[in-house]
Amino acid sequence: MSRVVVTGRVPEAAIEKLRTEHEVDAWQGPESIGREELLRRVAGADAVVSLLTERIDSELLDAAGPQLRVVANVAVGYDNIDVPACTERGIVATNTPGVLTDATADIAFGLILLATRRLGEGERLIRSGRPWKWGMFFLLGTSLSGKTLGIVGMGGIGQATARRAKAFGMDIVYQSRSELDPRIAEELGARRVDLDELLTVSDVVSLHCPYGPATHHLIGAGQLAAMKDSAYLINTARGPIVDEAALASALREAQIAGAGLDVFENEPRVHPGLLELENVVLVPHLGSATVETRTAMAMLAADNTLAVLSDERPPAPVN
């Protein structure tokens, strides 16, 4: 029997699954586990099931000890894990791809609608108690049909967002490290372009690439200036892909029309310049936040953990 440390609250079904074979120490506090407590608890663990709010770095891996075999992130993004440090120590790192694709694409498309149709502004107006009435020119937004969606990062979530956009009559361009399977590209009517072209031709730019050194501030002042002044930026990937200060300034100066953000550069803090603006919709990292999706993510993390502890290949290794 191995010792599995779970660093935050996850759906009970996943804990039960792990408990059928191993001793499980799962953090149950209402707040995130503090760093000191985390370092103390991982000592002697064979497996760590981690949430994206926990930094899994050399310090933590050393605190766990040489018996640690697997770090199973309950997220598709794994920028919180120092993967090379895991690899150096022979530790398998895993993530949860696939199971949150639709939920995240739903939120991306939700943000597209909220931003382009000014639904956030309308909601805030009614709640403010300020007077309003229907008018021919009242809170006019932008139609999506016939417009171009530019997708940065055409993995599963990018493709699922493209599928939704196609149903709304949008044209799709994308920028990605690799070319789409020609059948999928044809089904979506999607054309591969470079980032510069994508920024200049798109009416909505939606980010779906992983975060890492290569994508840090991929969208900064220069890229925002290249976008149409009628365009919108949507981010459901990772906050630091966008230079938030530059985005606040572009929105304030009406260099672009609006934005919809589910993720932030210094979560949970949001750049104060964004909080004062009407033309940005802000939601608190809800991309995968459905009961079904979070359960599926936790179960996949449990499967990854159980596989490694049984000397089998896990379903979703990242190293």
Stretch that binds ligand DGY, among 11-19, 71-79, 137-145, 199-207 (CB under 6 A): 71-79
For 196-219, give one letter per residue: b (16+ CB within 10 A) or e. eebbebbbbbbbbbbbeeebebbb
Please confirm, yes or no, whether 285 is among the known catalytic residues: yes
CB of 50 to ligand DGY, least distance (A): 12
The closest of 71, 22, 24 to 51, measured between CA atoms, is 71
The closest of 249, 255, 252 to 279, measured between CA atoms, is 252
Binding of ligand DGY by 110 (CB under 6 A): no
How far is it, in rounded angstroms, from Cα 120 to Cα 261? 12
Nearer to ligand DGY, 110 or 287 (CB): 287
Nearer to ligand DGY, 6 or 52 (CB): 52
How far is it, in rounded angstroms, from Cα 178 to Cα 175? 8
Do 150 and 199 touch, CB atoms closer than 8 A? yes
Do 221 and 249 touch, CB atoms closer than 8 A? yes
CB of 263 to ligand DGY, least distance (A): 7
Please confirm, yes or no, whether 238 is among the known catalytic residues: yes
Nearer to ligand DGY, 146 or 284 (CB): 284
Binding of ligand DGY by 100 (CB under 6 A): yes
Choose which of 51, 75, 162, 306 interacts with ligand DGY (CB under 6 A). 75
Judged by CB under 6 A, the chain residues 265 through 294 that form the site for ligand DGY are: 287-288
Binding of ligand DGY by 240 (CB under 6 A): no
CB of 148 to ligand DGY, least distance (A): 26
How far is it, in rounded angstroms, from Cα 288 to Cα 96? 11
Please confirm, yes or no, whether 130 is among the known catalytic residues: no
How many amino acids of this chain bind ligand DGY (CB under 6 A)?
Answer: 7
Binding of ligand DGY by 77 (CB under 6 A): yes
How far is it, in rounded angstroms, from Cα 265 to Cα 215? 13
3-class DSSP state for residue 317? strand
Q: Which residue of the set 69, 271, 285, 294 is catalytic?
A: 285
User: Which amino acid would we find at residue 273?
Assistant: G
**How distant, in Å, are the alpha carbons of 215, 236, 289 from that of 152?**
11, 11, 22
Nearer to ligand DGY, 219 or 250 (CB): 219
Q: Which residue of the set 22, 164, 208, 238 is catalytic?
A: 238
Stretch that binds ligand DGY, among 54-62, 74-82, 141-149, 227-235 (CB under 6 A): 74-82
Q: Looking at the chain, how many residues does it have? A: 319
3-class DSSP state for residue 24? strand
Binding of ligand DGY by 157 (CB under 6 A): no
Residues lying near ligand DGY in the complex (CB under 6 A): 52, 75-77, 100, 287-288
Q: Which residues are catalytic?
A: 238, 267, 285
